[in-house]
Amino acid sequence: MNTYDIQGKRIWVTGHRGMVGSAIVRRLESQNCVVLTSSRSEVDLRNSVDVKSWMSFNKPDVVIIAAAKVGGILANSLYPADFIYDNLAIATNVIHESYKSQVEKLIFLGSSCIYPKFAPQPIPEASLLTGPLEPTNEWYAIAKIAGIKLCQAYAKQHGANFISAMPTNLYGPGDNYNLETSHVLPALIRKFHEAKVNDHQSVTIWGTGTPLREFMHVDDLANAIVFLIEKYSGYEHINIGSGEEITIDKLSKLVAEVVGFKGSLEFDRTKPDGTPRKLMDSSRLNAMGWKPSIKISNGISDAYKSFLSIQA
Protein backbone atom coordinates (compact mmCIF):
# COMPACT_ATOMS: atom_id res chain seq x y z
CA MET A 1 0.00 0.00 0.00
CA ASN A 2 1.76 3.20 -1.14
CA THR A 3 1.50 5.83 1.58
CA TYR A 4 1.58 9.65 1.44
CA ASP A 5 3.10 11.40 4.44
CA ILE A 6 1.27 14.65 5.31
CA GLN A 7 3.96 15.81 7.78
CA GLY A 8 5.10 19.29 6.82
CA LYS A 9 2.67 19.50 3.92
CA ARG A 10 0.50 22.52 3.00
CA ILE A 11 -3.07 21.23 3.13
CA TRP A 12 -5.97 23.32 1.72
CA VAL A 13 -9.24 22.46 3.44
CA THR A 14 -11.93 23.96 1.22
CA GLY A 15 -15.21 24.59 3.06
CA HIS A 16 -13.38 24.89 6.41
CA ARG A 17 -16.31 26.67 8.08
CA GLY A 18 -18.77 23.86 7.32
CA MET A 19 -19.49 20.86 9.54
CA VAL A 20 -17.12 18.56 7.59
CA GLY A 21 -14.43 21.17 6.89
CA SER A 22 -14.26 22.31 10.53
CA ALA A 23 -13.98 18.68 11.70
CA ILE A 24 -11.04 18.15 9.31
CA VAL A 25 -9.33 21.33 10.57
CA ARG A 26 -9.80 20.06 14.17
CA ARG A 27 -8.34 16.67 13.15
CA LEU A 28 -5.29 18.26 11.47
CA GLU A 29 -4.47 20.40 14.54
CA SER A 30 -2.61 17.43 16.02
CA GLN A 31 -0.62 16.89 12.81
CA ASN A 32 2.64 18.64 11.88
CA CYS A 33 1.27 20.25 8.70
CA VAL A 34 0.24 23.72 7.47
CA VAL A 35 -3.55 24.03 7.20
CA LEU A 36 -4.66 26.51 4.54
CA THR A 37 -8.20 27.89 4.53
CA SER A 38 -9.98 30.46 2.36
CA SER A 39 -13.12 32.45 3.05
CA ARG A 40 -15.85 32.87 0.42
CA SER A 41 -14.88 36.54 0.05
CA GLU A 42 -11.30 35.48 -0.81
CA VAL A 43 -12.23 32.64 -3.17
CA ASP A 44 -15.54 31.84 -4.79
CA LEU A 45 -14.86 28.19 -5.68
CA ARG A 46 -17.42 28.44 -8.49
CA ASN A 47 -15.16 31.00 -10.18
CA SER A 48 -12.20 29.40 -11.99
CA VAL A 49 -10.17 32.62 -12.07
CA ASP A 50 -10.48 32.97 -8.26
CA VAL A 51 -9.42 29.36 -7.75
CA LYS A 52 -6.48 29.64 -10.16
CA SER A 53 -5.06 32.79 -8.58
CA TRP A 54 -5.55 31.53 -5.01
CA MET A 55 -3.76 28.25 -5.80
CA SER A 56 -0.84 29.84 -7.64
CA PHE A 57 -0.33 32.18 -4.67
CA ASN A 58 -0.80 29.63 -1.86
CA LYS A 59 0.63 26.51 -3.56
CA PRO A 60 -1.05 23.72 -1.55
CA ASP A 61 0.50 20.24 -1.64
CA VAL A 62 -2.80 18.58 -0.63
CA VAL A 63 -6.38 19.65 -1.41
CA ILE A 64 -9.45 18.39 0.49
CA ILE A 65 -12.70 19.24 -1.26
CA ALA A 66 -15.03 19.48 1.72
CA ALA A 67 -16.77 22.56 0.26
CA ALA A 68 -20.16 21.82 -1.26
CA LYS A 69 -23.69 23.09 -1.55
CA VAL A 70 -25.40 20.63 0.81
CA GLY A 71 -28.85 20.18 2.29
CA GLY A 72 -31.53 17.77 3.31
CA ILE A 73 -34.26 16.16 1.27
CA LEU A 74 -36.46 19.29 1.05
CA ALA A 75 -33.66 21.69 0.08
CA ASN A 76 -32.48 19.28 -2.62
CA SER A 77 -35.93 19.08 -4.16
CA LEU A 78 -36.58 22.84 -3.88
CA TYR A 79 -33.29 24.17 -5.31
CA PRO A 80 -32.11 21.69 -8.00
CA ALA A 81 -30.31 24.28 -10.12
CA ASP A 82 -28.28 25.55 -7.14
CA PHE A 83 -27.33 22.02 -6.11
CA ILE A 84 -26.18 20.87 -9.54
CA TYR A 85 -24.52 24.11 -10.64
CA ASP A 86 -22.62 24.96 -7.42
CA ASN A 87 -21.37 21.43 -6.86
CA LEU A 88 -20.34 20.88 -10.49
CA ALA A 89 -18.52 24.23 -10.58
CA ILE A 90 -16.67 23.54 -7.30
CA ALA A 91 -15.57 20.08 -8.44
CA THR A 92 -14.55 21.19 -11.94
CA ASN A 93 -12.59 24.25 -10.83
CA VAL A 94 -10.78 22.79 -7.82
CA ILE A 95 -9.87 19.50 -9.48
CA HIS A 96 -8.67 21.12 -12.72
CA GLU A 97 -6.64 23.87 -10.98
CA SER A 98 -5.18 21.28 -8.59
CA TYR A 99 -3.89 19.40 -11.62
CA LYS A 100 -2.52 22.60 -13.21
CA SER A 101 -0.67 23.55 -9.99
CA GLN A 102 0.64 19.98 -9.55
CA VAL A 103 -1.09 19.27 -6.24
CA GLU A 104 0.42 16.02 -4.88
CA LYS A 105 -2.78 14.58 -3.36
CA LEU A 106 -6.47 15.53 -3.62
CA ILE A 107 -9.51 13.97 -2.02
CA PHE A 108 -13.02 14.75 -3.32
CA LEU A 109 -15.99 14.13 -1.01
CA GLY A 110 -19.36 12.97 -2.34
CA SER A 111 -22.26 11.28 -0.59
CA SER A 112 -24.11 7.99 -0.40
CA CYS A 113 -26.91 9.55 -2.47
CA ILE A 114 -24.83 8.91 -5.63
CA TYR A 115 -26.13 5.34 -5.64
CA PRO A 116 -29.32 4.07 -7.35
CA LYS A 117 -32.53 4.39 -5.34
CA PHE A 118 -32.91 0.61 -5.20
CA ALA A 119 -29.26 -0.42 -5.03
CA PRO A 120 -28.53 -3.75 -3.30
CA GLN A 121 -27.99 -3.21 0.45
CA PRO A 122 -25.40 -2.83 1.81
CA ILE A 123 -24.37 -0.80 -1.26
CA PRO A 124 -20.97 -1.71 -2.77
CA GLU A 125 -19.00 0.90 -4.74
CA ALA A 126 -19.64 -1.15 -7.90
CA SER A 127 -23.37 -0.22 -7.74
CA LEU A 128 -22.58 3.26 -9.08
CA LEU A 129 -24.53 4.08 -12.29
CA THR A 130 -26.37 0.74 -12.33
CA GLY A 131 -29.86 2.18 -11.93
CA PRO A 132 -32.05 5.28 -11.60
CA LEU A 133 -31.23 7.75 -8.83
CA GLU A 134 -33.51 8.94 -6.01
CA PRO A 135 -35.45 11.85 -7.68
CA THR A 136 -35.31 14.18 -4.64
CA ASN A 137 -31.53 14.51 -4.80
CA GLU A 138 -30.52 13.42 -8.30
CA TRP A 139 -29.17 16.91 -9.06
CA TYR A 140 -26.68 16.81 -6.18
CA ALA A 141 -25.94 13.14 -6.95
CA ILE A 142 -25.07 13.85 -10.60
CA ALA A 143 -22.71 16.64 -9.55
CA LYS A 144 -20.99 14.32 -7.07
CA ILE A 145 -20.75 11.50 -9.63
CA ALA A 146 -19.13 14.01 -12.00
CA GLY A 147 -16.58 14.78 -9.27
CA ILE A 148 -15.71 11.10 -9.00
CA LYS A 149 -15.31 10.90 -12.77
CA LEU A 150 -13.17 14.05 -12.84
CA CYS A 151 -10.76 12.53 -10.30
CA GLN A 152 -10.62 9.31 -12.32
CA ALA A 153 -10.07 11.16 -15.61
CA TYR A 154 -7.17 13.23 -14.24
CA ALA A 155 -5.67 10.11 -12.66
CA LYS A 156 -6.02 8.19 -15.94
CA GLN A 157 -4.81 10.90 -18.35
CA HIS A 158 -2.29 12.77 -16.16
CA GLY A 159 -1.39 10.30 -13.39
CA ALA A 160 -2.85 12.71 -10.78
CA ASN A 161 -3.06 11.23 -7.26
CA PHE A 162 -6.70 12.35 -6.94
CA ILE A 163 -9.09 10.11 -4.97
CA SER A 164 -12.75 10.32 -4.02
CA ALA A 165 -14.66 9.15 -0.97
CA MET A 166 -18.40 8.77 -0.32
CA PRO A 167 -19.44 9.47 3.28
CA THR A 168 -22.81 8.33 4.62
CA ASN A 169 -25.28 10.75 6.31
CA LEU A 170 -23.25 12.91 8.69
CA TYR A 171 -23.99 14.83 11.89
CA GLY A 172 -22.08 16.60 14.63
CA PRO A 173 -20.71 20.01 15.71
CA GLY A 174 -21.24 22.81 13.19
CA ASP A 175 -24.32 21.18 11.66
CA ASN A 176 -27.04 23.19 9.89
CA TYR A 177 -30.16 23.61 12.07
CA ASN A 178 -32.31 25.53 9.61
CA LEU A 179 -35.49 23.44 9.51
CA GLU A 180 -36.07 23.95 5.77
CA THR A 181 -32.57 23.12 4.51
CA SER A 182 -31.11 20.80 7.18
CA HIS A 183 -30.70 17.03 7.30
CA VAL A 184 -32.90 14.93 9.53
CA LEU A 185 -30.71 14.51 12.61
CA PRO A 186 -30.03 18.21 13.32
CA ALA A 187 -33.69 18.97 12.46
CA LEU A 188 -34.84 16.48 15.11
CA ILE A 189 -32.44 17.91 17.71
CA ARG A 190 -33.84 21.40 17.15
CA LYS A 191 -37.50 20.29 16.96
CA PHE A 192 -37.34 18.25 20.16
CA HIS A 193 -35.36 20.91 22.00
CA GLU A 194 -37.82 23.67 21.06
CA ALA A 195 -40.81 21.44 21.92
CA LYS A 196 -39.27 20.68 25.32
CA VAL A 197 -38.46 24.27 26.26
CA ASN A 198 -41.87 25.50 24.99
CA ASP A 199 -43.72 22.61 26.63
CA HIS A 200 -45.31 21.42 23.32
CA GLN A 201 -47.05 18.03 23.49
CA SER A 202 -46.01 16.68 20.07
CA VAL A 203 -43.35 17.03 17.35
CA THR A 204 -43.96 16.55 13.61
CA ILE A 205 -41.64 14.16 11.79
CA TRP A 206 -41.53 14.24 7.97
CA GLY A 207 -42.61 11.19 5.96
CA THR A 208 -43.65 7.83 7.36
CA GLY A 209 -40.70 7.26 9.72
CA THR A 210 -40.01 3.92 8.00
CA PRO A 211 -36.94 4.84 5.86
CA LEU A 212 -33.63 3.56 7.14
CA ARG A 213 -30.55 5.80 7.29
CA GLU A 214 -26.93 5.14 8.17
CA PHE A 215 -25.22 7.85 10.22
CA MET A 216 -21.63 8.77 11.05
CA HIS A 217 -20.29 11.44 13.41
CA VAL A 218 -18.26 14.02 11.52
CA ASP A 219 -15.18 13.49 13.75
CA ASP A 220 -15.08 9.85 12.60
CA LEU A 221 -15.28 11.07 9.01
CA ALA A 222 -12.38 13.48 9.55
CA ASN A 223 -10.27 10.58 10.82
CA ALA A 224 -11.22 8.47 7.81
CA ILE A 225 -10.28 11.29 5.42
CA VAL A 226 -6.77 11.70 6.88
CA PHE A 227 -6.40 7.90 6.85
CA LEU A 228 -7.32 7.76 3.12
CA ILE A 229 -5.08 10.70 2.16
CA GLU A 230 -2.16 8.82 3.68
CA LYS A 231 -3.07 5.26 2.67
CA TYR A 232 -5.24 5.23 -0.47
CA SER A 233 -4.43 6.10 -4.07
CA GLY A 234 -6.92 3.86 -5.82
CA TYR A 235 -8.87 4.72 -8.96
CA GLU A 236 -12.29 3.68 -7.58
CA HIS A 237 -14.21 5.87 -5.11
CA ILE A 238 -14.41 4.43 -1.61
CA ASN A 239 -17.37 4.25 0.80
CA ILE A 240 -17.05 5.71 4.30
CA GLY A 241 -19.95 4.30 6.30
CA SER A 242 -20.51 3.32 9.91
CA GLY A 243 -22.50 0.17 9.13
CA GLU A 244 -25.01 1.40 11.77
CA GLU A 245 -28.48 2.09 10.31
CA ILE A 246 -31.71 3.06 12.06
CA THR A 247 -35.29 3.86 11.02
CA ILE A 248 -36.31 7.51 11.16
CA ASP A 249 -38.94 6.52 13.72
CA LYS A 250 -36.35 4.92 16.05
CA LEU A 251 -33.93 7.81 15.44
CA SER A 252 -36.66 10.25 16.48
CA LYS A 253 -37.22 8.34 19.72
CA LEU A 254 -33.45 8.26 20.38
CA VAL A 255 -33.08 12.02 19.84
CA ALA A 256 -36.19 12.73 21.95
CA GLU A 257 -34.64 10.69 24.78
CA VAL A 258 -31.27 12.48 24.54
CA VAL A 259 -33.00 15.90 24.47
CA GLY A 260 -35.44 14.94 27.22
CA PHE A 261 -38.68 15.47 25.23
CA LYS A 262 -41.52 13.38 26.66
CA GLY A 263 -44.35 14.18 24.23
CA SER A 264 -45.64 12.32 21.16
CA LEU A 265 -44.52 12.05 17.52
CA GLU A 266 -46.76 12.90 14.56
CA PHE A 267 -45.84 11.88 11.00
CA ASP A 268 -46.46 14.33 8.12
CA ARG A 269 -46.95 12.08 5.12
CA THR A 270 -47.12 15.06 2.76
CA LYS A 271 -43.33 15.25 3.11
CA PRO A 272 -41.14 12.86 1.05
CA ASP A 273 -39.48 9.76 2.51
CA GLY A 274 -36.78 9.79 -0.17
CA THR A 275 -34.82 6.63 -0.73
CA PRO A 276 -36.05 3.75 1.46
CA ARG A 277 -32.55 2.75 2.56
CA LYS A 278 -28.91 3.64 1.78
CA LEU A 279 -26.65 1.50 3.95
CA MET A 280 -23.22 1.41 2.35
CA ASP A 281 -20.81 -1.51 2.17
CA SER A 282 -17.63 -0.07 3.67
CA SER A 283 -15.75 -3.38 3.79
CA ARG A 284 -13.01 -2.10 1.43
CA LEU A 285 -12.20 0.72 3.85
CA ASN A 286 -12.50 -1.57 6.87
CA ALA A 287 -10.17 -4.10 5.21
CA MET A 288 -7.57 -1.30 4.89
CA GLY A 289 -7.65 -1.03 8.69
CA TRP A 290 -10.07 1.83 9.44
CA LYS A 291 -13.28 1.66 11.51
CA PRO A 292 -15.43 4.41 13.08
CA SER A 293 -15.43 4.74 16.86
CA ILE A 294 -18.36 7.05 17.78
CA LYS A 295 -21.60 5.17 18.48
CA ILE A 296 -24.79 7.01 17.46
CA SER A 297 -26.20 7.42 21.00
CA ASN A 298 -22.96 9.06 22.23
CA GLY A 299 -22.71 11.02 18.99
CA ILE A 300 -26.21 12.47 19.38
CA SER A 301 -25.43 13.60 22.95
CA ASP A 302 -22.29 15.32 21.62
CA ALA A 303 -24.28 16.95 18.81
CA TYR A 304 -26.96 18.15 21.25
CA LYS A 305 -24.26 19.66 23.50
CA SER A 306 -22.84 21.57 20.53
CA PHE A 307 -26.38 22.69 19.56
CA LEU A 308 -26.92 24.04 23.10
CA SER A 309 -23.60 25.87 23.00
CA ILE A 310 -24.72 27.87 19.93
CA GLN A 311 -28.12 28.59 21.55
CA ALA A 312 -26.45 30.14 24.59
Binding site residues, ligand GFB, CB under 6 A: 72-74, 76, 111, 113, 136-137, 140, 169, 182-184, 187, 205-207, 211, 213, 248, 271-274
Complex with ligand GFB: residue 49 or 197, whichever CB lies closer: 197
Q: How far is the CB of 206 from ligand GFB (least distance, A)?
A: 3
Q: Which of 140, 154, 232, 304 is catalytic?
A: 140
**CA geometry: angle 82, 173, 178, nearest 5 deg:** 45
Complex with ligand GFB: residue 87 or 161, whichever CB lies closer: 87
What is the C-alpha end-to-end distance of the chain, expressed in Å? 47
Complex with ligand GFB: residue 50 or 249, whichever CB lies closer: 249
Residue by residue, DSSP assigns the chain as: ------TT-EEEEETTTSHHHHHHHHHHTTSSSEEE---TTT--TT-HHHHHHHHHHH--SEEEE-------HHHHHH-HHHHHHHHHHHHHHHHHHHHHTT-SEEEEE--GGGS-TT--SSB-GGGTTSSPPPGGGHHHHHHHHHHHHHHHHHHHHH---EEEEEE-EEESTT----TTTS-HHHHHHHHHHHHHHTT-SEEEEES-S--EEEEEEHHHHHHHHHHHHHH---SS-EEE--S-EEEHHHHHHHHHHHHT--SEEEEETTS---SS---B--HHHHHTT------HHHHHHHHHHHHHHHH-
Q: How far is the CB of 72 from ligand GFB (least distance, A)?
A: 3
Complex with ligand GFB: residue 43 or 184, whichever CB lies closer: 184
Q: How far is the CB of 226 from ligand GFB (least distance, A)?
A: 21
Identify whether 140 is a catalytic site residue. Answer: yes
Q: How far is the CB of 165 from ligand GFB (least distance, A)?
A: 13
Complex with ligand GFB: residue 21 or 211, whichever CB lies closer: 211
Q: How far is the CB of 153 from ligand GFB (least distance, A)?
A: 23
The catalytic residues are 140
